[in-house]
């Protein structure tokens, strides 16, 4: 990794955001009533979040729908003013949106686009070159690098609206990173992309992080993005940080079970395997079952002694399952 820029850190203290939501009864009468007497209520989207990111760190920012991820990222990039607490990004206070700050960060939202729809992506890149005052030599070098890593050759001169979703997302990323920001806020950068395209976006983010030592906060509903890029995970639920730690430690917070995979030499029926664990799945000579974490070695020894086992592996449950369980039981899992 290149030496991370010293001011690419993120410091968040007791950050809060409440939205005022105006409520209206349905229908015409409801509109009239709300016109006379407006009803509103406060939605606390982020309720006092604190964390620090070191320069060059990549973290996965996870949580169920409506947990407060996008709101947090918008506050960190200065698009929303916090209702309380403080944030410092690359040494700046995001809410001030100073030009020097905007040159140090980027916010990529997979659901929104910044490229100009009717023009080729190359034109949007030139606009960004002007906005961010990127010197010609740096612009050419970055374009050459991104064209190679993202495979942009041949698509830069096509009208953006004629690009496929994947091609467009690659151009969106290139446009957003053209000024070589040191802090990246990536909100669902791979949403809707096919598996191959997700992989190339991931490879690009990894390459950029290694090349420039950038700090990255990434939200994604595709756990493969998170497991491929981040070792540290922040989990937010109902506006509060409920976990901050290693990906492996998050897996341990799951059901308390581990997955034992077996390769058998002779077929064994599921009922027999149910004596050793739960959630038994048998497919020919392959089988899988869940075993309580504290009993893995005892049960594995019994399986090996009782059955004709060619291979046995023990794994943490997939991260999707862990997240489902955590949010299913709505239990705080403080890091
Ligand atoms: N502009 C807004 N006005 C009112 N409430 C809002 C606004 N934006 C978000 N909210 C509410 O704030 C909460 C947090 O929303 P946010 O978009 O930050 O969640 P999220 O974790 O990004 O969710 P998702 O994964 O679904 O994108 C939700 O209850 C949402 O309904």
**Structural domains in the chain plus CATH codes:** 10-14+47-251 (3.40.50.300), 256-316 (3.30.70)
* Residue 335 CB burial class (10 angstroms; 0-12, 13-18, ≥19): middle
Structure tokens at 187: 């909100």
Q: How confident is the model at residue 17 (pLDDT cuts 50, 70, 90)?
A: very high
| Beta strand segments in 120-267, E | 183-187, 215-219, 232-237, 240-246, 257-264
Nearest to 128 by CA among 118, 117, 116: 116
Q: Is the pLDDT of residue 25 over 80?
A: no
Contact 237, 323 (CB under 8 A): no
| Any ligand 1 atom below 6 A from CB of 182 | no
In the chain, % of residues over pLDDT 70: 95
Instruction: Quote the pTM value.
Output: 0.81
Mean pLDDT, the chain, rounded, equals: 89
251 pLDDT higher than 90: no
Q: Is 187 exposed, middle or buried (0-12, 13-18, 19+ CB in 10 A)?
A: buried
Q: Which of 18, 42, 64, 68 to mutate to test the pocket of ligand 1 (most atoms within 8 A of CB)?
A: 68
The arithmetic mean of pLDDT across residues 134-143, rounded, is 96
Q: State the pLDDT confidence band at 141, using cuts at 50, 70 and 90.
A: very high
256: confidence class by pLDDT, cuts 50, 70, 90: low
Looking at residue 32, its pLDDT comes to: 76
Distance, CA 236 to ligand 1 centroid (Å)?
12
CA-nearest residue, atom 1 of ligand 1 = 19
Residue 319, pLDDT score: 73
Residue 335 has pLDDT above 50, yes or no: no
Mean pLDDT of the 94-119 span: 93
Buried (b) or exposed (e) across 107-146, using 16+ Cβ within 10 A? bbbbeeeebeeeebbbbbbeebbeebebeeeebeebbeeb
What tens digit of pLDDT does each residue of 266-306 get?
999 999 999 999 889 999 999 999 898 889 999 999 999 99
Position in ligand 1 atom list of the atom nearest CA 46: 14
Q: Comparing C-alpha atoms, which of 302, 276, 304, 301 is closest to residue 290? A: 276
The predicted pLDDT at position 1 comes to 47
Q: In what order do the strands lie in the sheet with 286-292?
A: 278-283, 286-292, 257-264, 309-315
For the chain, what's the residue count? 335
ipTM: 0.96
66 touches ligand 1 (CB under 6 Å): yes
Residue 124 has a pLDDT of 93
**pLDDT, mean of residues 244-265:** 83
Q: Of 29-43, 51-65, 86-100, which range is least confident? A: 29-43
Q: What's the pLDDT score for residue 309? A: 94
If one residue of 16, 60, 66, 240 were mutated to test the ligand 1 pocket, choosing by the most ligand atoms within 8 A of its CB, it would be 66
Q: Measured in angstroms, how far is the CA atom of residue 48 from the centroid of ligand 1?
A: 15
Average pLDDT over residues 72-94: 96
pLDDT, residue 24, reads: 73
State residue 331's pLDDT score.
Answer: 41
Q: Give the model's pLDDT for residue 254.
A: 66
Tell which atom from ligand 1 comes closest to the C-alpha of 71.
18
CA distance linking residue 298 with residue 302, whole number of Å: 6
Higher pLDDT, 2 or 136: 136
The dihedral through the CA atoms of 297, 299, 301, 304 has a sign that is negative
Mean pLDDT for the stretch of residues 228-243: 92
């Amino acid at each position: 990794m290149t030496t991370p820029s010293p001011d690419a850190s993120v410091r968040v203290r007791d950050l809060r955001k409440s939205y005022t939501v105006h409520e209206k009864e349905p229908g015409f009468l409801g509109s009239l009533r709300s016109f006379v007497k407006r009803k509103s209520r406060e939605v606390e989207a982020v309720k006092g979040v604190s964390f620090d990111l070191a320069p060059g760190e990549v973290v996965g920012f996870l949580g169920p729908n409506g947990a407060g991820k996008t709101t947090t990222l918008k506050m960190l990039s200065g698009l929303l003013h916090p209702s309380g607490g403080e944030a410092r990004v690359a040494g700046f206070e995001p809410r001030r949106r100073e030009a020097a700050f905007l040159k140090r960060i980027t916010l990529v939202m997979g659901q929104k686009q910044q490229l100009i729809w009717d023009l080729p992506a190359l034109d949007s890149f030139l606009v960004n070159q002007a906005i961010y005052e990127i010197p010609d030599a740096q612009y050419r070098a970055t374009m050459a690098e991104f064209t190679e890593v993202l495979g942009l050759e041949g698509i830069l001169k096509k009208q953006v609206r004629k690009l496929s979703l994947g091609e467009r997302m690659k151009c969106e990323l290139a446009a957003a990173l053209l000024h070589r920001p040191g802090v990246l806020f990536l909100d669902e950068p791979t949403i809707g992309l096919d598996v191959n395209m997700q992989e190339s976006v991931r490879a690009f983010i990894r390459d950029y992080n290694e090349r420039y030592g950038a700090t990255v906060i990434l939200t994604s509903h595709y756990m493969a993005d998170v497991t491929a890029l981040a070792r540290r995970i922040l989990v937010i639920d109902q506006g509060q940080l409920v976990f901050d730690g290693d990906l492996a430690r998050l897996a341990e917070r799951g059901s308390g079970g581990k997955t034992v995979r077996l390769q058998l030499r002779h077929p064994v029926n599921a009922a027999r395997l149910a004596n050793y664990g739960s959630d038994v799945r048998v497919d020919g000579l392959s089988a899988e079952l869940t075993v309580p974490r504290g009993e893995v070695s005892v049960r594995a020894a019994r399986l090996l002694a009782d059955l004709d086992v060619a291979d046995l592996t023990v794994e943490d449950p997939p991260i999707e399952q862990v997240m489902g369980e955590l949010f299913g039981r709505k239990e705080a899992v403080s890091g």
